[in-house]
């Protein structure tokens, strides 16, 4: 039987890359006839750099407010606070400038504005598969990290009551436009830029290695992986190398093609959700720690696909897990659960929660229950 599958295209309308962020955003806002632009931005960038003020000046009187208090992992309470401020400002466009938590927060704010959500409990009403109103206030994103959530119609929001990261989905919460400007990433701490780059590597690798991979996703992910494999070490060696930073940004963009087009991620992403929500491990670090061990555990199920990964990273014929391990170590990133103070006494809880994520049940080597997740965690201990 011939290979069969499905590719889904997102409602992202355009990506502008290699251009100054502020003037590009201002032009996009004019083109979309936005009159009241609400900013959701990194607090650090707002306090310690001129990037946000430059964006405000470019937007002029059309900028009607700024929210800069989104913590890591996008807690529900901060989403509600941002939505209330955007609602009060009468926003007709949201512009984000910051990392993945800010980006995800704005995607959730779109749902709040469209569905009258005004408190943390009411967010339950817009979680899939509940029917919801389509967002009317859309988003333009300027990312400062490489986690690449700006290319996805999924928002990850943490419920502080349960410390569980929940997914909110709607095809229209993907930003209308993304602006990739390497200059704005120069303020991002190097550890954060590099570790979220490994998050993008994780998107590529789990997309390629999925049992549900597609030729379309593979083509993008393999090229994205090659760009990241070359670009990340260049940024570490010379943080002022804007060409290398742009290569990484484009690699992160391409890394999302499998996920956005319908290819599921695997156990690295699933376990990572739990490590982030429960133990506050940064997103990028979860991939640094888990991806090589997941690859090692999965090899009996997908050795042929793992060979493609090693080749794309410039190490044809070598073990993909070893290539990834050495690459991550070379960037100076954490490699073991012990490095982030997660001990074996937590493995049972992590494994149990990971089984409830969207991705662990679709891992390429079947995971029947928590015991198999604990085997992977032991490899990463």
Question: Do 363 and 219 belong together in one domain?
Answer: yes
Alpha helices by DSSP H, 60-136: 76-89, 100-115
- pLDDT band, residue 1 (cuts 50/70/90): very low
Q: Is the pTM of this model over 0.75?
A: yes
Mean of per-residue pLDDT scores for the chain: 96
Quote the number of domains for the chain. 2
Question: Do 158 and 227 belong together in one domain?
Answer: no
Question: Do 200 and 245 belong together in one domain?
Answer: yes
Is the pLDDT at 331 greater than 60? The verdict is yes
Question: Do 301 and 171 belong together in one domain?
Answer: no
Question: Do 167 and 30 belong together in one domain?
Answer: yes
Domain endpoint, select from 131, 151, 183:
183
Question: Do 170 and 197 belong together in one domain?
Answer: no
- Residues sharing a CB contact under 8 Å with residue 60, sequence separation 6 or more, in sequence order: 26
Question: Do 135 and 234 belong together in one domain?
Answer: no
Q: What value does the mean pLDDT take over residues 317-330? A: 98
What's the pLDDT at 2?
A: 53
Question: Do 173 and 200 belong together in one domain?
Answer: no
Question: Do 147 and 206 belong together in one domain?
Answer: no
Question: Do 178 and 196 belong together in one domain?
Answer: no
DSSP output for 321-338: HHHHHHHHHHTT---SGG
Question: Do 141 and 160 belong together in one domain?
Answer: yes
CATH number of the domain where residue 144 is located: 3.40.50.1970
Q: What value does the mean pLDDT take over residues 151-156? A: 95
- Structural domain span for residue 21: 14-183
Is the pLDDT at 128 greater than 80? The verdict is no
Contact between 209 and 217 (Cβ < 8 Å) = no
Question: Do 252 and 144 belong together in one domain?
Answer: no
pLDDT digits (tens, 9 = 90+) for 246-284: 999 999 999 999 999 999 999 999 999 999 989 999 989
pLDDT digits (tens, 9 = 90+) for 2-40: 578 889 999 999 999 999 999 999 999 999 999 999 999
């Amino acid at each position: 039987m011939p290979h069969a599958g499905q590719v889904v295209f997102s409602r992202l309308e355009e990506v502008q890359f290699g251009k100054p962020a502020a003037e590009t955003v201002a032009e996009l806002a004019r083109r979309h006839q936005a009159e009241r632009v609400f900013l959701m931005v990194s607090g650090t960038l707002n306090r310690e750099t001129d990037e946000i003020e430059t964006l405000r000046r470019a937007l002029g009187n059309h900028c009607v407010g700024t929210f800069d208090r989104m913590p890591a992992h996008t807690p529900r309470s901060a989403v509600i606070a941002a939505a209330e401020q955007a609602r009060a400002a009468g926003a007709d466009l949201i512009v984000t400038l910051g990392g993945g938590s800010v980006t995800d927060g704005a995607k959730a704010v779109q749902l709040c504005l469209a569905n009258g959500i005004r408190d943390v409990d009411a967010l339950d009403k817009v979680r899939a598969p509940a029917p919801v109103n389509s967002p009317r206030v859309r988003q333009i994103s300027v990312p400062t990290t490489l986690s690449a959530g700006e290319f996805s119609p999924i928002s990850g929001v943490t419920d502080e009551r349960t410390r569980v990261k929940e997914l909110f989905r709607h095809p229209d919460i993907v930003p209308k436009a993304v602006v990739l400007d390497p200059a704005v990433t120069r303020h991002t701490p190097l550890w954060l830029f590099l570790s979220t780059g490994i998050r993008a590597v994780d998107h590529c690798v789990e997309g390629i290695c999925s049992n549900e991979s597609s030729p379309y996703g593979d083509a993008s992910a393999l090229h994205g992986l090659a760009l990241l494999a070359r670009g990340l070490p260049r940024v570490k060696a010379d943080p002022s190398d804007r060409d290398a930073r742009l290569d990484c940004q484009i690699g992160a963009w391409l890394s999302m093609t499998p996920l956005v087009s319908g290819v599921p991620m695997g156990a690295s992403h699933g376990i990572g959700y739990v490590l982030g929500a429960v133990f506050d491990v940064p997103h990028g670090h979860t991939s640094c720690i888990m991806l090589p061990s997941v690859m090692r555990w999965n090899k009996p199920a997908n050795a042929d696909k793992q060979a493609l990964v090693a080749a794309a990273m410039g190490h044809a014929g070598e073990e993909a897990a070893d290539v990834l391990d050495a690459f991550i170590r070379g960037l100076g990133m954490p490699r073991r659960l012990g490095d982030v103070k997660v001990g074996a006494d937590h493995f049972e809880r992590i494994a149990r929660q990971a089984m409830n994520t969207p991705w662990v049940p679709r891992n390429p080597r079947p995971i029947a229950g928590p015991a198999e997740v604990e085997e992977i965690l032991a490899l990463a201990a």
